[in-house]
Amino acid sequence: MGASTSTGAEERDPVAVLRRAFGYPGFRPGQEELVRAVLSGRDALGVLPTGGGKSVCYQVPALIVDGLTLVVTPLISLMEDQVGRARTVGLRADFLSATRSVGERRAVAARAESSALDLLFVSPERLETDAFRALVDGVRIDLLAVDEAHCISEWGHDFRPAYRRIGALRRCIAGPTLALTASATPPVRADIRASLGLADPFEIVRSFDRSNLWWSVERGGTLPERLQRIHALVRREPGCSIVYAPTRRTVERVRASLARAGVVCAAYHAGLGGDERTRVQERFLGGDVRVVVATNAFGMGIDKPDVRLVVHLQLPTTLEAYYQEAGRAGRDGAPSRCIALHGPHDGRLGRAFRDRTHPPLRRLRALHRTLRAAAGEDGRVRVDDPRVVCRLGSVPRGWMRGEPEGALAALERAGALRRMGSGTDGRSHGSPEGDAVVVRRFDADRVARRRAVVTSKLRAVERYARVRGCRTAALLRYFGEVARQDCGRCDRCGWDSRVQP
């Protein structure tokens, strides 16, 4: 079985394991049902709100089942932290990623093969490597957990092509599959079930309505005017706050402005070194920093219960992203506020992002023709081929390192090309084929549909910002949930002092 070696019914009872290992008196709503479903051998899909404790849903089974629990997660940068948390509850946990040396990866694989691991974290890209396929052949996997499962869906947000291919792994695994996410609309949930091939899954969708949160969208003017408003909000809120800004440059400007006013704050974005990001997280979690100003890079894996205020300098490009980021407020159930600033020109950033990540059909069609003409008989072509570079305007170094970048990434998401020579986690490591792709059929309808979906999400954000009725109800409708009007805890309905956590 898992980390515990004693036998008996109590050692395999989920509630008893939760109390012993985690010290919790009982499960949160939705957790126990998912745990019991997968322990009975049934596939399951859980949509639990941000802060709903998704990790418990696979950690408790990992402490009970005899074989390995494999967790597929997109959070490569946080795998070490996830492993640390799992070890604190007695799990023999580890992770595989490109950040580790070849020797370390071999040692982890050896532990898995010798049944010395209960829990293993991997990225979806790693599943496709020869080394991992060999590992799967020699290891008993009793549970496959897919975290952030909305990444599977082309119609959701944060789509990652490698997630679409996780379903193929299920044919090699005897145990059930557990898909988990905090934000998925009904179409995305249907796509998750189909892509993973979930067989008659047990499904639980917790309400997206968190009764302790107050939602508001305020008119945002110029950046100096928004900064002035953020100053007022942070000064009024004595507790911890997160301020989200859309770019690294804006993050630094907001942080500097707050610091000059005497606010103890820190910046967090992908441009900082890993050690610095870790220090910011630790200072915020420890209470040494009251306010973190961040891009959307901040928040995944941050379990701070007493955030009282989340402010967005401007609304994100999707309501899924907004709900997830704003939902980091009030995880302890105490009343907390989620406030976004919005102006008439804010949509320009979202449209620019759409045009960069989902370029117009004519541009992608022209690039695909260039790639096909330059490809050999086997369909392969190097993206630094002069003909390709001429079309792109430059060699896409970031994309070759595994970062999403422009038209090539859009063609990859559409299935019109696939990278070759990738190392672990889908990243090129300087091999002769590291800059090569295989050109596939171009599906114009699929490309057009995907761009249309992104456009519809941008419009949904605009509708939310301008809604005349209850703002809480507008959010819930987006996620397919029926809600009554006049919630009493949004800027349209007014604050109700009777709101209870």
pLDDT digits (tens, 9 = 90+) for 13-39: 999 999 999 999 999 989 999 999 999
Under DSSP, the state recorded for 133 is: H
Q: Is 77 exposed, middle or buried (0-12, 13-18, 19+ CB in 10 A)?
A: middle
Q: What is the CATH number of domain 10-205?
A: 3.40.50.300
| C-beta separation of 25 from 3 below 8 A | no
Residue for token digits 């630790």? Answer: 282
Per CATH, is 213-343 categorized as 3.30.720.200?
no
Residue 422 predicted with pLDDT over 60: no
| Structural contact between residues 127 and 169, judged by C-beta atoms closer than 8 angstroms | yes
Pairing of strands 417-419, 436-439: antiparallel
The pLDDT score that the predictor gives to residue 430 is 39
What confidence tier does 423 reach under pLDDT thresholds 50, 70, 90? very low
The two tokens of residue 393 are 């305007």
For residue 352, the tally of other CB atoms under 10 A from its CB is: 11
Counting Cα atoms < 13 Å in the Cβ hemisphere of 260 gives 9
Q: Summarize pLDDT for 163-195 with one digit per residue, the tens.
A: 888 988 888 888 999 999 988 888 889 999 999
| Amino acid at position 413, single letter | R
What's the pLDDT score for residue 156?
Answer: 63
91, 2 Cβ separation under 8 angstroms: yes
Q: Is it the case that residue 3 has pLDDT exceeding 60?
A: no
Domain-by-domain residue ranges, the chain?
A: 10-205, 213-343, 352-449
Name the token pair of 100: 């580790």
**Residues 202, 222: Cα–Cα separation, whole Å:** 49
Phi, psi of 296 (to 5 degrees): -70, 0
User: Comparing C-alpha atoms, which of 434, 437, 424, 436 is closest to residue 127?
Assistant: 424
pLDDT of residue 473: 93
Report the interhelical angle of 102-113 vs 130-137 (nearest 10°).
20
Q: Is the model's pTM score more than 0.85?
A: no
Which of the residue ranges 92-106, 285-299, 478-492 would you say has the lowest mean pLDDT?
Answer: 478-492
Q: Give residue-wise pLDDT tens across range 390-402.
A: 877 776 655 655 4
Highest mean pLDDT among 139-143, 406-410, 487-491: 139-143
| 27: DSSP letter | P
- The rounded distance, in Å, linking the Cα atoms of 184 and 478 is 10
Same fold flag, 10-205 and 213-343: yes
Q: Which of 294, 302, 298 is nearest to 50 (CA)?
A: 302
* DSSP H stretches of helix in 197-247: 223-236
**DSSP state, 182?**
S
Q: Which amino acid is at 501?
A: P
| Helical residues (DSSP H) of 2-96, grouped into ranges | 14-17, 31-39, 56-64, 79-88
Residue of 320, 301, 327 whose CA lies nearest to 212: 327
Q: Residues 129-167, buried b or exposed e (16+ Cβ, 10 A)?
A: beebeebbeebebbbbbbbbbbbbbbbbbbbbbbbbebb
**Cα separation of 38 and 33, whole Å?**
9
pLDDT in tens, 110-160: 999 999 999 999 988 888 788 888 888 889 999 999 998 988 886 666 777
Strand order across the 307-312 sheet: 265-268, 291-294, 240-244, 307-312, 336-342, 213-219, 489-490, 494-495
